[in-house]
Amino acid sequence: MEPSTALVVEVLATAANLVFVILLIRERIVCWPFGIAGSLLSIYLFIDARLYSEAFLYLFYVLFGIWGWVRWHRRLEEDDNPVSRWRYLVHGCAIIICSALAVAVGYGAWHFTDAERPFFDAFTTLFSFLATYLEVAKVLEAWVYWIVINVASIWLYHDRSLDIYALLIGLYAVLSVWGYISWRRAWLAQVS
C-alpha cells in the first residue's frame, strides 16, 4: 500500500476506534457502528503490515461489534443491561485457556506464515478476544484486560511502524482506566 494511502486509512481507523471507546465507556449503544467501521479499516492496515493475528482480531471485532449492537439494543429495550462481574476462578480458567491457545496460534504463525512477532501478536490477539467478549457482556473486568493488552500492544504497533496506532493504543490504555472507573461506579450503584 502506498504510504500516503496507509496514513489516511490509519487516521480514519484511529478516529473511528477512538470514538468507539469513548462511547463504550459512556455505555452508549451508538458506539458499535464506530467500532465496526474502525475495525474494517484496521483489517486493511494490519494485512499490509503482516500482522495477521491482528487482522483476524479486527475481523472478530467487526463480528462482535454487530453482536454487541444487537445485544445492547435488546437488553436496553428490556431495561436490563447492567455491568456485571466474574469470579476470580472464572478469570483464572480464561487466562489459562487464552494462554494455551496463544502459544498454539503463535507456533502456527511462526512456522506457516511470514508473520512478524507471531507469539506476541498471538497473545495480544487471544486476550483481546476475551476482553471483547467481556465488554459486549458488560463485565467490569474487561477494562483490566484492556489496560494490560493496550500497554503491551504499544510496542508491537511501534515495531511495525504503525506509530499512529501506537499512540492510539497508549490513549486506549488511559481510556481503559477511565472505563474501569466509570463501569465500576455503575456496578456499585447497581449493587447498593
| Average pLDDT of the segment spanning 48-73 | 88
Number of domains in the chain: 1
Task: Indicate the pLDDT class of residue 1, thresholds 50, 70 and 90.
Answer: low
For residue 82, the tally of other CB atoms under 10 A from its CB is: 12
> Which tens digit of pLDDT belongs to each residue from 165-186?
788 889 999 999 999 999 999 9
The pLDDT, as a whole number, for residue 175 is: 94
DSSP 141-181: THHHHHHHHHHHHHHHHHHTT-HHHHHHHHHHHHHHHHHHH
pLDDT band at 15 (very low <50, low <70, confident <90, very high): very high
Q: Which of 137, 131, 167, 166 is nearest to 149 (CA)?
A: 131
pLDDT at position 52 over 80: no
Bridge partners of 84, per DSSP, are 139
Asked if pLDDT for residue 55 goes beyond 90, the answer is no
What Cα–Cα distance (Å) separates residue 15 from each residue in 25, 39, 129? 16, 11, 21
Q: What is the pLDDT of residue 76?
A: 78
- Which of 129, 138, 73, 62 has the alpha carbon at shortest distance from 101? 129
Q: Are 151 and 175 in contact (CB under 8 A)?
A: no
pLDDT band at 24 (very low <50, low <70, confident <90, very high): very high
pLDDT band at 102 (very low <50, low <70, confident <90, very high): very high
Give the structural domain span for 85: 3-191
For 136-156, how does the pLDDT look when each residue is reduced to its tens digit (9 = 90+)?
999 999 999 999 999 999 988
Which cell goes with 36?
A: 465496526
pLDDT average, residue stretch 66-77? 89
